[in-house]
Amino acid sequence: MASVLVVEDDQFVRSALIRHLSDASHTVRSVGTALEALREVAHFRFDVVILDLGLPDLDGSEALKMLRGITDVPVIIATARDDETEIVRLLNDGADDYLTKPFSVEHLSARMAAVLRRSRGSGSGTGEAAPRQVLQVGGLTVDPLRRQAELDGARLDLTRREFDLLAFLAGRPGVVVPRKELLAEVWQQSYGDDQTIDVHLSWLRRKLGETAANPRYLHTLRGVGVKLEPPL
């Protein structure tokens, strides 16, 4: 069971989603605009948000960016748009998954289950039991069970995906991890654009106080992969 926010302005679709999710024993709240959605996530805790793109007050892609500014709740995009470039952009902007309308309730249920497994699963994103030991790489400390990370004793404010990426790499210090493996293990995707990884690496580097030109912990080997190792 999960707490779900449905953001959908089409009353017919909205009612159908509410009925299906409620029948599946989920707790459901629903709104029809982006601003209402932002108010909801600011005041209530949700396990997943189902977000329509064609909202009357603000395009859903802009709403997604604003949501990501205040919450790490998993977001499944529900859209009639099937342009691959836009789908990749939405994933880069923080969407966890997407569904192209029309979709069946069975399809929605399967996607929700997968997203919830990832968000409630291990910090490494591997689907295996979370390691109990705290990971230490130089001045970087990662606690997968508590989902906390510190750099030189200072707490890092990481999004859920940033933490998953950092924990996965910290569990393999000094090992070059291919981008394809990162997509499969951290994003749970069998395919995707390298830009998805680059965007999250850029955000993570910023919080670690480094840049791609002057790396301390995160090192990218062009055409090979990424590794995390302590500074010299």
What are the sequence ranges of the domains in the chain? 3-120, 135-228
Six-digit token string for 166: 């950092």
pLDDT at 69: 77
pLDDT at 141: 94
pLDDT at 75: 93
Q: Which residues contact 32 (CB under 8 A, 6 or more apart)?
A: 7, 8, 9, 11, 14, 55, 56
* CATH tag for 135-228 (out of 1.20.140.10, 3.40.50.1950, 1.10.10.10, 2.40.50.140): 1.10.10.10
Among candidate residues 153, 140, 163, the one with its CA nearest the CA of residue 215: 140
- Give the CATH superfamily of 3-120: Response regulator (3.40.50.2300)
pLDDT at 187: 77
Per-residue pLDDT of the chain (232 residues; tens, 9 = 90+): 789 999 999 999 999 999 999 998 899 999 999 999 999 988 888 889 999 988 999 888 888 888 887 788 899 998 888 787 888 888 888 888 888 888 888 888 888 888 887 776 544 444 444 444 789 999 999 988 778 899 999 999 988 888 889 999 999 899 999 988 888 888 777 666 677 788 889 989 999 999 989 999 999 988 789 999 998 7
pLDDT at 216: 94
pLDDT at 145: 78
Which residues share a beta bridge with 75?
Answer: 49
pLDDT at 149: 93
Q: How far apart are CA 40 and CA 61, in angstroms?
A: 17
What is the reported pTM?
Answer: 0.56
